[in-house]
Amino acid sequence: MNNKNSSRRSGKKPFSILNFLIVFLSIVLAFSIIISIHILRDVESVSYDQEQYLYYRLSDGEYASLAERWYENGLGNENNPQVKNVLDYYAVGRYFEKAFLANAWEKAGNTAKAQKLRAQMEEFEPQMGQFAAEKQKIEMIFEQ
């Protein structure tokens, strides 16, 4: 009978070690997955696909979505090399945003706010780079 008890006890030790090993490896795997997701999200925040997306939005004249993407990806990340590649797209979006607001304030009769926004629009003109021609298209939208 003593032999049975000793064999059961010795059987529990490897089982406990295996349980510990499984729990430990599960925790390591969970942390690895979390870290990988975080890294991938940062790397892909502005990728080639993002630049294509911005190009198509610009081509379709969907300037508001460019401004929206600025707030999602560009704001605070201006020094990120991937964001630097698309700052001209964001400048067009921000120019549109200021033009939209200036137009709204003008129609509401608040010319002081409209003038302030028009001054901010001028700050984005040099940042538009290769897309400077979009300025005229944006202004035509609000002339109608």
37 and 63 co-located in one domain: no
φ/ψ of 47, rounded to 5, equals -120, -175
Count CB atoms within 10 A of the CB of residue 47. Answer: 13
Place of tokens 């979390």: 34
Residues 52 and 119 in one domain: yes
Same domain membership, residue 114 and residue 59:
yes
> What's the predicted TM-score (pTM) here?
0.63
Burial class of residue 62 in the structure, from the number of CB atoms within 10 Å of its CB (0-12 exposed, 13-18 middle, 19+ buried): middle
Same domain, 117 and 52: yes
Phi, psi of 61 (to 5 degrees): 75, 20
**Residue 100's pLDDT band (cuts 50, 70, 90):** very high
Q: Is 53 in the same domain as 36?
A: no
Residue 136, pLDDT score: 92
- Give ∠ CA 129-135-136 in degrees, rounded to 5: 135
Total domain count, the chain: 2
CA–CA distance, 71 with 130 (Å, rounded to integer): 21
Residue 80 DSSP SS3: coil
Tell me the per-residue pLDDT of 10-49, one tens digit each, with 9 for 90 and over: 555 667 888 888 999 999 999 999 988 877 766 555 555 7
Q: Which domain holds residue 114?
A: 48-143
Q: What would the two tokens of residue 44 be?
A: 């892909």
Query: Which residue has better confidence, 136 or 8?
Result: 136
Predicted confidence (pLDDT) per residue in 77-86, tens digit: 666 766 777 8
Instruction: Indicate whether 119 and 135 sit together in one domain.
Output: yes
